[in-house]
Amino acid sequence: MRIIVAGGDGFCGWPTALYLSEKGHDVSIIDNGVRRKIDNELHSNSLTPIASLEERVAKWEELTGKHITVYDGDLVHYDFLKEILRKEKPDAFVHFAEQRSAPYSMIDREHAVYTQENNVTGTLNVLFGIKEVVPDCHLIKLGTLGEYGTPNIPIEEGYIEIKHKGRKDTLPFPKQPGSFYHLSKVHDSHNIMFACKIWGIRATDLNQGIVYGLETEETQLDPVLTNRLDYDGVFGTALNRFIIQSTVGYDLTVYGKGGQTRGFLNIKDTVRCIEIAAENPADFGEFRVFNQFTEQFSVADLAEKVQNVAKEEGFETKIANLENPRVELEEHFYQAENTKLKDLGLEPHLLTEDVIRDVLRTVIKHKDRVIEKNILPSVKWK
């Protein structure tokens, strides 16, 4: 298949581009490099040193003979996007290219506006581009489990059957997002659903859980292919952040009581889920929703797991319950469905001690790169 990976320089997009290329697909990447610019803005960095995108794809071609075309540009620029769609004529458009940090979107008005303009306009442009240039193309869009919030009922995959005043219907599952970033994803989902309905295009919304891990088989082939690893209070996600904290002698910073429960998955499953979605496209006019995660944990569970493995590796670590910078429930019911991807063949890589140990050992190699003042949360919701 001809596949565009938008956001292919990022944490999820880069390993996905390599994985799809390895599987024999004709892959091209669109990325405007904004994630690297945000590192400069925040005086932060990836824990792992990452090569430029040009160096990355050149090394991939040198090692495997497989070519990945790179387009350096912004989805918000419609003429640029249309030109690429005309050139590439993709069968699938994998859309990772958004501002993905909840804290970043909560810094101030400018960052909230940037997040929503970038994400909502970019996705609208992709929808119009598919309609006008490549109407057969299957949109595979990264949403987030965070769109649903934490309702006191089980979370279904996209839709719920409701009986009301003697009548019955299947309706979109209610959305209760917890940040301006998560809201941008909900706005995207609504726009995509509407476009499928009125134009008959086909789309899969992957409501992804929090991704942990670092490398895939492909990124491990050479240090130039290494994936980025975020650990700061703005972009670092729970498990990866705890592992890094444990190696530099920091307390594992659990926000509030730590009962916040979320869905998680290994980066190795992210890349496979995209392949599954691409190989099993939605029907024309269908807005299909999968919950893309494999296990659920509370933040306190994760901190304990990391603490245990770190201890075995010689790092004594304390768990610190910080005042929660976010506004969220700290103890709640959580049960999300995740059968659709498994039914299509996903075989989960579960969170074992070995998986934590692997990331931890990689982190140790680069721990001199940690900028300690970036570890603690600096953005408050209120």
State the residues that interact with ligand NAD by CB under 6 A: 7, 9-13, 30-35, 74-76, 96-98, 100, 118, 122, 142, 144, 208, 210-211, 237
Q: Distance between CA 58 and CA 237 in Å, rounded?
A: 29
CB of 381 to ligand NAD, least distance (A): 18
CB of 7 to ligand NAD, least distance (A): 3
Angle at 16 between CA 32 and CA 48, to 5 degrees: 70
Active site residue 255: no
CB of 165 to ligand NAD, least distance (A): 36
Closer residue to ligand NAD (CB): 125 or 246: 125
Q: Distance between CA 328 and CA 257 in Å, rounded?
A: 11
For tokens 């859309």, what's the residue? Answer: 95
CB of 250 to ligand NAD, least distance (A): 21
Active site residue 144: yes
Catalytic residue, chosen from 71, 148, 181, 250, is 181
CB of 214 to ligand NAD, least distance (A): 12
Q: Distance between CA 217 and CA 265 in Å, rounded?
A: 16
Closer residue to ligand NAD (CB): 220 or 285: 220
* CA nearest to 148, candidates 3, 333, 319: 333
Q: Distance between CA 188 and CA 311 in Å, rounded?
A: 43
Closer residue to ligand NAD (CB): 291 or 315: 291
CB of 13 to ligand NAD, least distance (A): 5
Closer residue to ligand NAD (CB): 53 or 315: 53
* CA nearest to 148, candidates 348, 338, 310: 338
Catalytic residue, chosen from 123, 144, 261, 317, is 144
Catalytic residue, chosen from 19, 71, 185, 362, is 185
Strands 261-266 and 295-298, bridge-based pairing: antiparallel
Query: Could you list the active site residues?
Result: 144, 181, 185
